[in-house]
Amino acid sequence: MSRLEELIAELCPDGVEYKFLSDICDITRGRVMSKEYLRDNAGEYPVYSSQTANNGIFGFIDNYDYDCESITWTTDGANAGSVFYRVNEKFSITNVCGLLRVIDHNIMNTKFLYYYLQIVTKDYVNSGMGNPKLMSNVMARVLIPLTPLPVQREIVRILDNFTELTAELTAELTAELTAREKQYEYYRNHLLTFGDDVTISTLGEISIKTYSGGTPLANNAEYYGGDIPWLRTQEVRFVDIYDTEMRITPAALKNSAARWIPENCVIVAISGATAGRSAINKIPLTTNQHCCCLEINPQKAHYRYVFHWVSSQYQKLKALGQGARSDLNSGIIKGYPIPIPSLKEQTRIVAILDRFDALCNDLTSGLPAEIEARRKQYEYYRDKLLTFPALPEGGKGATA
């Protein structure tokens, strides 16, 4: 029996009492701070806001509102419900952040509460009206298990160790992935460098047909939520596409410029920040108007060879963008040059690069899958450690 199991058997064998978060913590919100305010009051103390990148830091100012062990959470936006543990620092928060301070440390360990909230806050987020929110009044009603302090401390010890080990392993895997990506780029560039004896064609010349697409009217509910895959430019990410984030209806297809394209087209994004990215659709689908889709002639080129070539040319393609948004167009794409070795050589190149690509990018195999597996393993054991039965009436509950 583990130390944790011994503590639970001794101190709360029948379960634990649950209380509302408002009974356990003081709950406050931050204040409005603009970028101009941060600029005019620049200093050393962090300001936390609604984002999760960089530990939620919005900027730094020359004053602070808090200097206490606490938990902050994001109240608004895509990251609503994200929680952070704050200790041994002076900081402030903006109006899209909330702050929790434990009232009585004899019954609740702040770090334990942080780990528990990591699991449950997502269930309290209101995603209505397209702007997710977790406001103070809702946060106040989150139910928290009052496990005995020795149990809380042991769980914190276990999770701190597990968090550290997971972070170390993830860092090692990430470093390995970065090294493999550099190796992949090196070999891709080497394999796609040819002498003067190789024929140079254009993407248009090796294509059977070029497809574009369209966007159905956004305010027509009859056009969305159907069963027709509809690819948007932001989903073109140098990958094979087996599904799309959005689907449209036959009515949308009939009343817009969206058209079916066959599987295994080389798709190139032509708009704005995504211009020059490429992908391959492994299913028939439709796209928006910011995609140029090339159906490759198999007598002239292997479609995956073309994909790898276009991917290697990303920066050069992007540099050809025109106008304020640096957009490409189908003429630029179709006129872009491509070396055409023999089909046998193309197939050899594809086999090598596909193996490298899977190692670096495949979410079902290779290093990204290993990193994701470690994250899921951590979440599984964390959730298991922080699941407690409610105390039945008359049962032996939590004791200090």
- In single-letter form, the type of residue at position 168 comes to E
Please report the pLDDT score of residue 332 as a whole number: 95
The residues that bridge with 57 in the sheet, in sequence order, are 48
Strands 246-248 and 207-211: unpaired
**Do both 130 and 211 map to the same domain?**
no
pLDDT of residue 397: 47
Residue that terminates a domain, selected from 320, 340, 360 = 340
Residue 61: exposed, middle, or buried by beta-carbon count in 10 A (0-12, 13-18, 19+)?
buried
What's the CATH code of the domain at 49?
3.90.220.20
Task: Look at the chain and report how many structural domains it folds into.
Answer: 2
Give the domain-ending residue among 84, 119, 146.
Answer: 146
Residue 79 domain flag: yes
280: in domain? yes
The per-residue pLDDT for 191 is 92
For residue 116, tell me if it sits in a domain.
Answer: yes
178, two tokens:
């970065």
Q: Is the dihedral of CA 388, 389, 391, 397 positive or negative?
A: negative
And the tokens for 172? 């090692």
- Comparing CA positions, the residue from 261, 313, 255, 323 lying closest to residue 292 is 261
**CA atoms of 153 and 388, how far apart (whole Å):** 15
Among 145, 135, 45, 44, which residue's Cα sits nearest to residue 92? 45
Indicate left, alpha or beta for 129 from its phi (over 0: left) and psi (-120 to 50: alpha).
Answer: left
- Are 258 and 230 in contact by the 8 Å Cβ rule? The answer is yes
Instruction: Report the C-alpha gap between 249 and 225 in whole angstroms.
Output: 7
Q: Do 214 and 141 have their domain in common?
A: no
Q: Looking at the domain assignment, is residue 191 inside a domain? A: no
Q: Would you state the pLDDT for residue 127?
A: 79
Within this chain, do residues 132 and 213 fall inside the same structural domain, yes or no? no
203 and 127 in a common domain: no
Rounded Cα distance between 114 and 239, Å, is: 36
Instruction: Provide Rg for the chain, Cα atoms.
Output: 27
Q: Is residue 391 part of a domain?
A: no
Residue 189 lies in a domain: no
* Residues 131 and 208 placed together within one structural domain of the fold: no
Instruction: Give CA–CA dist 134/119, Å, rounded.
Output: 14
Identify whether residues 234 and 324 lie together within a single domain.
Answer: yes
Statement to judge: residues 122 and 241 lie in one domain: no
Same-domain pairing of 124 and 208: no
Q: Is 193 a domain residue?
A: no
pTM of the model: 0.65
How many C-beta atoms lie closer than 10 Å to residue 106's C-beta?
Answer: 9
The answer to whether 170 and 375 are in contact (CB under 8 A) is: yes
Say yes or no: 295 and 229 in one domain. Answer: yes
pLDDT the model gives residue 398? 46
Query: Is 131 exposed, middle or buried, given 0-12, 13-18 or 19+ CB atoms closer than 10 A?
Result: exposed
Output the tens digit of pLDDT for each of the chain's 400 residues. 588 888 888 888 888 999 999 999 999 999 999 989 999 999 999 999 988 888 899 999 999 999 999 999 999 988 899 999 999 899 999 999 999 999 999 999 999 999 999 999 999 998 765 689 999 999 999 999 999 999 999 999 999 998 898 888 888 888 888 888 888 888 888 999 998 889 999 999 999 999 999 999 987 889 999 999 999 999 999 999 999 999 999 999 999 999 999 999 999 999 878 899 999 999 999 999 999 999 999 999 999 999 999 999 999 999 998 887 889 999 999 999 999 999 999 999 999 999 888 777 665 567 777 888 888 888 888 888 888 888 776 444 444 4
Cα-Cα-Cα-Cα dihedral sign, residues 244, 246, 247, 248: negative
> According to the model, what pLDDT value does residue 129 have?
58
Residue 2 lies in a domain: no
CA distance 100 to 111: 12
Q: Go through 209-237 and write b for each residue having 16 or more CB atoms within 10 A of its CB, e for each that does not.
A: ebbbbbbbeeeeeebbebebbbbbbebbe
- Residue-level pLDDT at 399: 44
Do 26 and 99 share a domain, yes or no?
Answer: yes
Tell me, yes or no, whether 283 and 219 share the same domain.
yes
Q: Are residues 60 and 141 in the same domain?
A: yes
If you search the block for the tokens 């430019």, which residue do you land on?
233
Cβ-Cβ contacts under 8 Å for 186 (sequence gap 6 or more)? none
Domain that holds residue 315: 199-340
